[in-house]
Amino acid sequence: MYRAVLTLITTVFLATQAVAGDPVVVFENENKEMNTAIAEARSTLPEFLNYVASGSSEIENFGVKVSLQGDEYIEHIWVSDVTVLGKGKFRGRLANAPVNLGRMKLGDQITFYERQISDWNFVRDGKGYGYFTVRVIATQMAKDDAAALAGFLSAEPLPVRW
């Protein structure tokens, strides 16, 4: 059985800025809620990528969560400064300090493929859209932390208008 590790950005408001010391939450691969969140994020990824590519001035920042094979298990980690290299290939910087990725560290540049993206986010008008996996993690957070996060997240992960 594999375990997946997901890094939650404590200060989600800084989703695309590198953050060290973020809490790590472990989910089993069979976790239905997390798998549903990842499937929803992946199913809406084309709309998100088109929106980001449009260069809309409404986007305050954005990032993606990428699954990377670690030393012992798969780690899902936020990536910032994302650029498209073409044909489903991207480059970005680790926005969290990895816990299972060998010598990789916060801020390291990585290359990854669209199939590795497990979540996405953008901030518009001070509200966080996407964050499908974070919404699942929030159900396991302390009430005060979950309430603070709820104040930042949009009511629904998808915007009414792209």
Structurally, how many domains does the chain consist of? 1
Give per-residue pLDDT as tens, 60-95.
Answer: 999 999 999 998 889 999 999 999 999 999 999 999
pLDDT band of residue 21 (cuts 50, 70, 90) is low
pLDDT tens digits for 124-160?
999 999 999 999 999 988 899 999 999 999 999 999 9
Residue with tokens 């989910």: 27
Given this model, what pLDDT does residue 22 score?
62
Give the confidence band of 13 by pLDDT, cuts at 50, 70, 90: very low
Within a domain: 162 = no
Q: Give residue-wise pLDDT tens across range 35-59.
A: 999 999 999 999 999 999 999 999 9
Structural domain contains residue 92: yes
Q: Computed from CA positions of residues 69, 105, 43, 9, in that sequence, does the dihedral angle turn out positive or negative?
A: positive
Provide the angle, in degrees to the nearest 10, between the axes of the packed helices 32-43 and 45-53. 40
Task: Tell whether 158 is covered by a domain.
Answer: no
Residue 160 lies in a domain: no
| Residue 11 falls inside a structural domain | yes
Residue 109: C-alpha distances to residues 38, 78, 148, 154 (Å): 23, 12, 30, 29
**Do the domain assignments include residue 157?**
no
Spatial distance between the Cα atoms of 102 and 10, rounded to a whole number of angstroms: 23
**Structural domain contains residue 113:** yes
Amino acid at 111: T
pLDDT score of 3 more than 60: no
Mean pLDDT of the chain: 87
Within-domain flag for 161: no
* Residues of the domain holding 123: 3-152
The residue whose two tokens read 């199939």 is: 115
Confidence of residue 27 (pLDDT cuts 50, 70, 90): confident
